[in-house]
């Protein structure tokens, strides 16, 4: 990769909307807006449309509330239910399990990638829940740029920045959960 690629997706700050657990919805909306979809939908409206898992399982829908922490809940929505929801507004494809190079290839094709990582790209802090072992410092960002040694993320907590690819890949590879947003 000779030249850095930066798609320039918008940044949605989840905290400014009071959505302390709203990173997946923010990252999804950033990607949809970048591809020209759901343009008339605000982040607040989008959060209200998010599918909630009645059983609290993030593999079924959002497991709790994006606005508060609830004891015994894991406040997140994982890739498959996120894809089902997102495909109501645009076109998404599951990249879970993909090698990081696949994510970078999508960026080079002009498609942002929703990636599941950890808050501040810290070491995952694993805990066991009824639905499986997951990092309690779960986070989701939109990957919208790549260069030889860095990736660019639109992070719903920390804003937009370039990050060392090695650091990104270490955290991404701990879970390998991602989805691409197509035009």
Structural domains counted in the chain: 1
3-state helix, strand, coil in the chain (%, to 5): 30, 25, 45
Burial 165-180 (b: 16+ CB within 10 A, else e): beebbebbeebebbbb
Q: Grade residue 70 by pLDDT with cuts at 50, 70 and 90.
A: confident
- The domain of 25 spans 5-182
Residues 70 and 173: their CA atoms lie apart, in Å, by 28
Question: Contact, 156 vs 13, CB < 8 A?
Answer: yes
User: Which structure tokens are listed for 161?
Assistant: 């920045």
Mean pLDDT for 78-84 is: 97
Structure confidence at residue 7 (pLDDT): 98
Residues 71 and 26: their CA atoms lie apart, in Å, by 23
Residues 176 and 93: their CA atoms lie apart, in Å, by 14
Residue pLDDT, tens place only, 128-167: 999 999 999 999 999 999 999 999 999 999 999 999 999 9
The phi, psi pair for 46, rounded to 5°, reads -60, -45
Mean pLDDT for 29-52 is: 97
* Bridge partners (DSSP) listed for residue 129: 132
Q: What percent of the chain lies above the pLDDT cut of 70?
A: 99
Structure confidence at residue 72 (pLDDT): 82
In the predicted model, what is the mean pLDDT of the chain?
Answer: 96
Judged against a pLDDT cut of 70, whether residue 34 lies above it is answered with yes
User: Which DSSP state fits 130?
Assistant: T
On the CB side of 43, how many CA atoms lie within 13 Å of its CA? 23
User: Which structure tokens are listed for 168?
Assistant: 């990104």
Mean pLDDT for 49-77 is: 94
Judged against a pLDDT cut of 70, whether residue 1 lies above it is answered with no
Judged against a pLDDT cut of 70, whether residue 28 lies above it is answered with yes
Residues 111 and 134: their CA atoms lie apart, in Å, by 27
**Contacts for 45 with CB less than 8 Å, ≥ 6 apart:** none
CATH code of residue 41: 3.90.70.10
């Amino acid at each position: 990769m000779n030249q850095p690629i930066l798609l320039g997706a918008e940044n949605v700050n989840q905290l400014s909307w009071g959505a302390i657990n709203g990173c997946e919805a923010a990252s999804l909306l950033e990607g949809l807006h970048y591809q020209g979809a759901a343009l008339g939908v605000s982040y607040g409206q989008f959060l209200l449309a998010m599918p909630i898992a009645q059983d609290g399982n993030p593999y079924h829908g959002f497991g709790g509330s994006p606005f508060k922490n609830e004891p015994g809940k894991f406040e997140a929505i994982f890739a498959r239910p996120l894809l089902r929801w997102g495909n109501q507004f645009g076109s998404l494809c599951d990249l879970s399990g993909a090698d990081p190079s696949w994510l970078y290839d999508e960026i080079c094709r002009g498609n942002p990638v929703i990636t599941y990582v950890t808050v501040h790209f810290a070491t995952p802090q694993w805990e066991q829940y009824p639905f499986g072992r997951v990092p309690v410092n779960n986070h989701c960002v939109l990957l919208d740029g790549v260069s030889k040694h860095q990736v660019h993320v639109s992070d719903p907590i920390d804003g937009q920045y370039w990050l060392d690819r090695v650091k990104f890949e270490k955290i991404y590879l701990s879970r390998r959960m991602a989805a691409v947003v197509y035009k």
